[in-house]
A and B are shown apart, each in its own frame.
Chain A
Amino acid sequence: MQSDLQIWQLMLDASWVVKMVMITLLIASIWSWMIIFRKRQMLSFAEKGAVAFEEQFWSGTDLSRLYKESIENDTGEGLEQIFEAGFKEFARMRKQSGMSPTVLVEAAQRAMRIALVRETDRLEHHLNFLATVGSTSPYIGLFGTVWGIMTSFQQLANVNQATIAMVAPGISEALVATAMGLFAAIPAVIAYNRYSNQVDRLETRYDNFKEEFSSILQRQAHILLEG
């Protein structure tokens, strides 16, 4: 009974500074795991959506019908949002007379750029928390450990015959804090690297789409206004 309570015993016996450190690390760890699960779902959803929309877009359907469809289901995100923004702006500017094709296309491009930035921001949101946890929680854990070792040496000062058995429990309980710090940091760093790479790739994809779509719009504008 005594041995399986040991790790809890260690935590409960710790000084209040070490306890605070451990609680902080636990909260950071739970939070970062929450973000890991949320982001994973979100990114895979975004990627699937992008693939599906690109396929639909390049299959040669009518653009205005595609626009109507994407307006109707409002769950659209990513590419769909960019497409909607560009097409809406293009349609609105076209109604005003006396526009040169360059101005038309530039307006649509601007609208798409704004949508792109908004989408990227949405994907990147919360990722920096993972980076913070990954880089600082080992230091927090280390602080707890150093504090614990300091106090356990302090207790040795009044004893004549010092044995290793007198300091060992204190050091052991202090090291728990470092272990917790590492436990919080490692998954956070891995997830951060992975997800930021994924976000980068998605962003490139959106950007490519934006360019291609604006070249289509440019052609349309020339045909409409000159022919």
Chain B
Amino acid sequence: MHDFWARTRAFGLAIGVHVVVAGVIVFSSMSWEPFRPPDLTGLTIEAVMVDTGAIKQRREEARKEAERLAARQTEEERRAKDLEARREREAEAERQRQKDLAVEKRQEDLRLQRLRAKQEQDRKDRIKKQQDELENVRRQREEAARQRRIEEERLKQLETRRQAEADAQRQAIAEEDMQRQLAAEQAEFKAGRLATLGEQYYLAIQSQVTNKWFRPPTARPGLRCRLKIVQIPGGEVISANIAGSCNGDEATRRSLVAAVERAGSLPYRGFEDVFEREIDFIFRYDGD
């Protein structure tokens, strides 16, 4: 029954998809041009038109020729008149130019006079400015000397202050160090007592694996190997392998995997809360 309904539903959805697509296609084809039958009559009419057209064209050409002649005559008359007018305009322009030249010469004279006066003035200004500059340099030098004296004074003061600050800081650091050491000692003390269940679990695994481990002669103290163990509820080991970093050689790695497999099951009772199907732990060996 369930199957029947699922099939009907799927059928309905499929039909729905097709209806939607058909709708979109019809909608988008609305703007197409409708088909028209091809127009076949135009071709014959064109052939008749050629004959009458030629006669009309010849008549038209004769009329156009006469018009062109008349137009040329009037054009020549107009050109003669234009020439006369231009000659008069040029004479007038010449007279005007003479007048302009006279005016220009007078202006030039005036300009030269003014220039000479200005040069004299400039020379006087320059001399005065040089004297001023000499005076300025002298004053600046005096000012710089005074500044230097003040600066030396300030430096001396700064030096004394810095020494005082450094002394204070050294004392503060010493104090802080002492406090930090105290805090670290306290934390260590606390951690020793309150190791979490998870840590105990890892310690238990570590000791179980170590018990089953036949240490190969090449394994050195300081060995760190990341082991990945898959187990099932109850602690039975399904698989074990080296995952990632391991600073032992090939024999050591193999011996570790063999140790886990020999152990067969990991501690479970009492650690149900921290049980994980995949355990990722770092095996440590620091010498006996």
CA distance A148 to B40 in the complex (A): 25
Q: Is B7 an interface position by the 8 A CB rule?
A: yes
- A33: contacting residue among B14, B25, B34, B238, CB under 8 A: B14
A176 to chain B: closest residue by CB: B25
Q: Is A7 an interface position by the 8 A CB rule?
A: yes
**Is A34 within 8 A of B34, CB to CB?**
no
Nearest Cβ in chain B — how far from A101, in angstroms? 15
Nearest Cβ in chain B — how far from A15, in angstroms? 17
- With contacts A60-B233, A219-B236 taken as known, whether A38 is within 8 angstroms of B29 at the C-beta atoms is no
Q: Is the interface of A mostly helix, strand, loop or mixed?
A: helix
- With contacts A34-B10, A37-B14, A183-B21 taken as known, whether A4 is within 8 angstroms of B30 at the C-beta atoms is yes
Q: Is B13 an interface position by the 8 A CB rule?
A: yes
Q: Is B232 an interface position by the 8 A CB rule?
A: yes
Residues of B within 8 A of A3 (CB): 29-32, 34
- With contacts A6-B32, A7-B25 taken as known, whether A212 is within 8 angstroms of B238 at the C-beta atoms is yes
Q: Is A161 an interface position by the 8 A CB rule?
A: yes
Nearest Cβ in chain B — how far from A215, in angstroms? 5
**Is A58 within 8 A of B233, CB to CB?**
yes
**Is B275 within 8 A of A7, CB to CB?**
no
Residues of A within 8 A of B18 (CB): 26, 29-30, 33
Chain B 211-244 interface 0/1 with A at a Cβ cutoff of 8 Å (1 = within): 0000000000000000000001110101000000
Chain A 55-67 interface 0/1 with B at a Cβ cutoff of 8 Å (1 = within): 0001110000000
Q: Is the interface of B mostly helix, strand, loop or mixed?
A: mixed
CA distance A219 to B236 in the complex (A): 9
CA distance A36 to B13 in the complex (A): 10
Q: Is A73 an interface position by the 8 A CB rule?
A: no
Give the number of residues in A that approach B within 8 Å (Cβ atoms): 31
Nearest Cβ in chain A — how far from B164, in angstroms? 69
Give the number of residues in B that approach A within 8 Å (Cβ atoms): 31
Q: Is B38 an interface position by the 8 A CB rule?
A: yes
Q: Is B15 an interface position by the 8 A CB rule?
A: yes
B35 to chain A: closest residue by CB: A169
Nearest Cβ in chain A — how far from B175, in angstroms? 54
B13 to chain A: closest residue by CB: A37
B31 to chain A: closest residue by CB: A3
Q: Which interface residue of A26, A31, A165 has the most chain B CB atoms within 10 A?
A: A165
CA distance A58 to B25 in the complex (A): 53
- A34: contacting residue among B11, B32, B37, B275, CB under 8 A: B11
Q: Is B63 an interface position by the 8 A CB rule?
A: no
Residues of A within 8 A of B114 (CB): none
**Is B17 within 8 A of A38, CB to CB?**
no
Residues of B within 8 A of A30 (CB): 11, 14-15, 18
A187 to chain B: closest residue by CB: B17
Residues of A within 8 A of B15 (CB): 30
**Contact residues of B between 44 and 63, Cβ < 8 Å to A:** none
Nearest Cβ in chain A — how far from B230, in angstroms? 8
Nearest Cβ in chain B — how far from A191, in angstroms? 12
- Which chain A residues have a beta carbon within 8 Å of chain B's beta carbons? 2-4, 6-8, 26, 29-31, 33-38, 41, 58-60, 161, 163, 165-166, 168-169, 183, 212, 215-216, 219
- Which chain B residues have a beta carbon within 8 Å of chain A's beta carbons? 6-7, 9-11, 13-15, 17-18, 21, 25-26, 29-32, 34-38, 40, 232-234, 236, 238, 272, 275, 277
Name 22 A/B residue pairs within 8 A (Cβ), A-sorted. Answer: A3-B29, A4-B26, A4-B29, A4-B30, A7-B25, A7-B26, A30-B14, A33-B13, A34-B10, A37-B9, A37-B13, A38-B6, A58-B232, A59-B233, A60-B272, A60-B275, A165-B37, A166-B38, A168-B35, A183-B21, A216-B236, A219-B236
Known: A30-B11, A163-B38. 4 other contacts (CB 8 A): A3-B34, A7-B29, A31-B14, A60-B275
